[in-house]
Amino acid sequence: MGKVLLVIGDAAEVLDTFYPLFRIREDGHTVHVTAPAKRKYALVLHERPEGWDITRETPGYHLDADLAFKDVRAEEYHGLVISGGRAPEYLRYDPDLMRIVRSFFYRDLPVACVCHGIEILAAAGVIRGRTVTTVAKCQFDAEGAEATYVDQPVVVAGNLVTARTWHDNAAFMREFMKLLNKAAPVS
């Protein structure tokens, strides 16, 4: 059975978080939620009301983190999922999270990243030369990290699977599960 880390923080997007959490568990893998500290986090909902140019954020569910970033032993895990929302804006400054992210790329293990999660990958310096997708307003983050941005539901680039928003969850998780189930088959 594989073990997967799910990265969150306050203001992580509800559907960017819960869909992967349950989908990965559905295939029999263990998911540990990791965040800056081991505590309860407030997730948010993002929707774009009719006539708006940007998303509106409203409170969502809460989720407990199983582990603080500093306590993660990345070598014990087979996959990594980085949730979106506003959380990546501050999570990208955490040196322990950068260590974790780089470990998965160094070991060429499956990484899934949706929406603003690309800000974490850009900060970690792991997307240079790759083609990625993300929410359109993070195009500059991707390109600033020397990745090629494309506007499509999902992109697979080696061990990395990226998606724009929670609207792309079905295609996003379908591709990630192919990589994860190959890297860590469930018995």
Closest CA to 6 of 98, 69, 49: 69
End-to-end, the C-alpha distance of the chain in Å comes to 6
Please name the residue that has the structure tokens 């501050």.
90
Q: Is 42 exposed, middle or buried (0-12, 13-18, 19+ CB in 10 A)?
A: middle
113 beta partners: 82, 162
- Please say if 116 is a catalytic residue: yes
User: Considering 32, 78, 116, 167, which one is annotated as catalytic?
Assistant: 116
Query: What b-and-e string marks burial along 73-91, b requiring 16 or more CB atoms within 10 Å of the CB?
Result: ebeebbbbbbbbbbbbeeb
User: Which active-site residues does the annotation give?
Assistant: 116
